[in-house]
């Protein structure tokens, strides 16, 4: 589906998608009504209303499968961001075991990583341009800095190991969110869903072709239901794009201050 539509506010996305659905429904109604004369009218009335149930069930199954996919991707993206933020917070807390320059350096690197993620990686993920080709330079430097620390006590040795583990977890969570940013509902799935809705609308128009008022009522109801289902999937179809997307809010919450609080009186 088009990027401009996905990135619209949900209200405007709903307006556009419902309008397109109603236009398609109106076109189907007008074509079937115009053709429903003579032999064709009898042929249309020969279409059994029983066909509507399997068509509706197939449409519902497609909606269910796609909804399960997009909601799962959304949950996994939030989990990855929360895990990354939690790991970065652990690094900041454990860095206090190395007061002075080492702690300040680790805090600066965590801060740089979060700033880079928010200002550069998030827009790239939203446009599907983020890749795993490059790692996070601040996190890579933080890992090298941690491994080079001179531990003088058992507590510092433990803190060093835990910082390495936390940085590894943060890097893994970052990779996961970048991978999830590539997740989309591909054109085949969208085509199948829209085609199934179109066929159901066509069948409804044929079954009720002899009663125009009833036809318009039923078509409007089903078109609205179909449009709502499409809006539901489209608004969640990309974990890091659109109004309903995973934001870096939790990462900003754990961004350390430029000055260590342990160094303050």
Residue 260's pLDDT is 53
pTM: 0.83
Q: Which residue has the higher pLDDT, 9 or 261?
A: 9
Domain of residue 84: give its range. 3-246
Q: CA 176 → CA 37, 116, 156, 169, 252, distances in Å? A: 59, 17, 30, 10, 19
Sign of CA dihedral 89, 91, 93, 95: negative
- Whether 96 is in a domain gets the answer yes
Mean pLDDT to the nearest integer, 15-38:
93
The answer on pLDDT for 257 being more than 50 is yes
Instruction: Give the integer Cα–Cα distance in Å for 174 and 132.
Output: 9
Instruction: Give the integer Cα–Cα distance in Å for 234 and 10.
Output: 9
- Whether 264 is in a domain gets the answer no
Mean pLDDT to the nearest integer, 159-170:
95
Instruction: Give the integer Cα–Cα distance in Å for 147 and 102.
Output: 11
- Whether 255 is in a domain gets the answer no
- Whether 252 is in a domain gets the answer no
Q: Write the pLDDT tens digit of every residue in 223-250.
A: 999 999 999 999 998 999 888 889 999 9
Q: Write the pLDDT tens digit of every residue in 83-108.
A: 999 999 999 999 999 999 999 999 99
- Whether 265 is in a domain gets the answer no
- Whether 256 is in a domain gets the answer no
Residue 242's pLDDT is 86
For 190, phi then psi, to 5°, come to -60, -45
Mean pLDDT to the nearest integer, 153-182:
94
- Whether 259 is in a domain gets the answer no
The answer on pLDDT for 261 being more than 70 is no
Q: How many domains in the chain?
A: 1
Q: Concatenated DSSP letters for the chain?
A: --HHHHTS-HHHHHHHHHHHHHHHHHHHHHHHHHH-SHHHHHHHHTS-GGGHHHHHHHHHHHHHHHHHHHHHHHHHHHHHHHHHHHHHHHHHHHGGGSTTHHHHHHHHHHHHHHHHIIIIIHHHHHTT---SSS--HHHHHHHHHHHT----SHHHHHHHHHHHHHHHHHHHHHHHHHHHTT----HHHHHHHHHHHHHHHHHHHHHTTT-HHHHHHHHHHHHHHHHHHHHHHHHHSSTTSSSSS--SHHHHHTPPPSS-GGG--
Q: Write the pLDDT tens digit of every residue in 133-142.
A: 878 899 999 9
Mean pLDDT to the nearest integer, 202-230:
93
CB distance 180 to 77 below 8 Å: yes
- Whether 161 is in a domain gets the answer yes
């Amino acid at each position: 589906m088009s990027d401009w539509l996905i990135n619209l506010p949900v209200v405007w996305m709903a307006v556009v998608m419902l309008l397109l659905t109603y236009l398609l429904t109106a076109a189907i109604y007008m074509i079937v009504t115009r053709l429903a004369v003579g032999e064709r009218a009898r042929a249309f009335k020969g279409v059994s209303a029983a066909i509507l149930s399997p068509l509706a069930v197939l449409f519902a199954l497609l909606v269910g499968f796609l909804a399960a996919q997009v909601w799962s991707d959304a949950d996994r993206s939030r989990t990855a961001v929360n895990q990354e933020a939690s790991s970065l917070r652990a690094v900041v807390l454990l860095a206090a075991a190395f007061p002075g320059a080492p702690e300040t350096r680790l805090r600066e690197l965590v801060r740089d990583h979060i700033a880079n993620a928010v200002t550069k990686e998030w827009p790239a993920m939203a446009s599907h341009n983020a890749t795993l080709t490059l790692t996070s330079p601040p996190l890579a430097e933080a890992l090298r800095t941690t491994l080079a620390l001179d531990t003088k006590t058992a507590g510092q040795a433990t803190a060093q190991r835990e910082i390495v583990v936390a940085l590894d977890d943060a890097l893994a969570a970052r990779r996961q969110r970048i991978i999830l940013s590539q997740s989309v509902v591909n054109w085949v799935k969208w085509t199948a869903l829209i085609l199934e809705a179109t066929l159901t609308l066509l069948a409804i128009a044929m079954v009720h072709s002899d009663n125009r008022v009833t036809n318009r009522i039923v078509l409007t109801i089903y078109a609205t239901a179909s449009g709502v289902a499409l809006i539901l999937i489209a608004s969640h179809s990309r974990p890091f794009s659109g109004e309903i997307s995973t934001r870096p809010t939790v990462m900003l919450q754990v961004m350390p201050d430029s000055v260590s609080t342990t160094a303050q009186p």
